[in-house]
Amino acid sequence: MSFHSGFVTLVGRPNVGKSTLLNRLVGQKVAIVSDRPQTTRAAIRGVRTTPDSQIVFLDTPGVHKPRTLLGERTNAVARSALAEVDTVCVLIEATNPIGPGDRRVAELARQVETPRILVVNKTDKASRAAIAQHLARADQELGEFDAYVALSARTGENVDALLGELEARLPEGPRYFPDDVVTDQPETFLAAELVREQLLRVARDELPHSIAVTADTDEDETRDDLLFLKITVRVERESQKGIVIGRGGEVLKAAGTEARRELEALLGTHVHLEIRVRVDRDWQRRPHALDRLGF
């Protein structure tokens, strides 16, 4: 029996649920999730493998009207992820009217010669009438699609229907990743993202966009049974540093503890995180700072 494989991009404006859907499709958490807009800053790959097929998903940053150089670069990441894939899934929310941001994303998707599926997400929070209206108005407002699926990434309702549409479009191909691989993100990237996710839970106002987290392996301390990582949390102003650390260090400690727990579950090994906070003024607006951080 032949094996089928391919690549699928998830694209949409911020907060439509792309990362939640990626985690649901893969079957475990590979991308951080937050109700803060523009949480995803890089194209994150998740891999779903069955006996007959393998799908490599690309979760992209939310396409938005950028206010900083970081925003411009994350938009570029989303655009580049539309090329050379087998299917593009355009996500919109059932809970909000189709708006300019959705139309902007749909226009980007139409610029590539790739099958497109419209995914209406968050059906668990919307009425049947609202869902039907989105599906009825989609062609008029967003252009034609090859398939339409309404689902809830949060509950998993009707996600199988999307998988069916995707698998039907897969060409014959190889296993790009071993069967037990669910993401190709390095341990350092996963650790940095999990710490950032926890900090986003307590951050407020513009602070979420001012947080950048990087991680490096301490080779001297790492052993076969222990991964030792040095985490650097960057903020843009001195006042933000106190928010991230918290009174008596409680915020940073709580974030590190939860991130370590999730990372150990994902990697199957003991993890030690050494976290420090530093001020890197206006890093999201400075080209050299963005280059250094990998954006």
Identify the CATH number of the domain in which residue 60 sits. 3.40.50.300
**191 in Cβ contact with 237 (< 8 Å):** no
159 and 199 part of one domain: no
pLDDT over threshold 80, residue 137: yes
89 and 10 part of one domain: yes
108 and 142 part of one domain: yes
Cα separation, 202 vs 254, whole angstroms: 10
Q: What percent of the chain has pLDDT over 70?
A: 84
pLDDT over threshold 50, residue 64: no
Its domain, for residue 221, covers 187-293
Cα separation, 77 vs 60, whole angstroms: 7
Cα separation, 65 vs 48, whole angstroms: 32
Which tens digit of pLDDT belongs to each residue from 6-60?
A: 989 888 888 888 889 998 999 988 775 645 444 444 567 889 999 999 998 987 7
Cα separation, 14 vs 104, whole angstroms: 12
Cα separation, 76 vs 44, whole angstroms: 14
162 and 191 part of one domain: no
User: What is the structure's pLDDT at 295?
Assistant: 62
43 and 144 part of one domain: yes
Number of folded domains that form the chain: 2
Pairs from 236-243 (Cβ < 8 Å, separation ≥ 24): 236/210, 236/279, 236/280, 236/281, 236/282, 236/283, 236/284, 237/210, 237/279, 237/281, 238/279, 240/207, 240/210, 240/211, 240/279, 241/277, 241/278, 241/279, 243/202, 243/203, 243/204, 243/207
pLDDT over threshold 70, residue 80: no
51 and 146 part of one domain: yes
Domain CATH code at residue 210: 3.30.300.20
21 and 108 part of one domain: yes
Mean pLDDT of 99-115: 87
**159 in Cβ contact with 153 (< 8 Å):** yes
200 and 287 part of one domain: yes
Measuring CA to CA, which residue among 180, 196, 198, 179 is closest to residue 188? 196
Widest distance between CA atoms in the chain: 61
In a domain, 178, yes or no: no
In a domain, 226, yes or no: yes
Last residue of a domain, one of 168, 203, 227: 168
User: What is the structure's pLDDT at 118?
Assistant: 95
Last residue of a domain, one of 140, 168, 196: 168
pLDDT over threshold 50, residue 219: yes
In a domain, 174, yes or no: no
Q: Is residue 205 within a helix (H) or strand (E), and if so which, with residue range?
A: none
Last residue of a domain, one of 116, 139, 168: 168
Q: 0.75 exceeded by the pTM?
A: no
pLDDT over threshold 70, residue 246: yes
In a domain, 246, yes or no: yes
Q: Where are the beta strands (DSSP E) in 13-86?
A: 44-49, 53-59
22 and 164 part of one domain: yes
Mean pLDDT of 129-133: 89
214 and 148 part of one domain: no
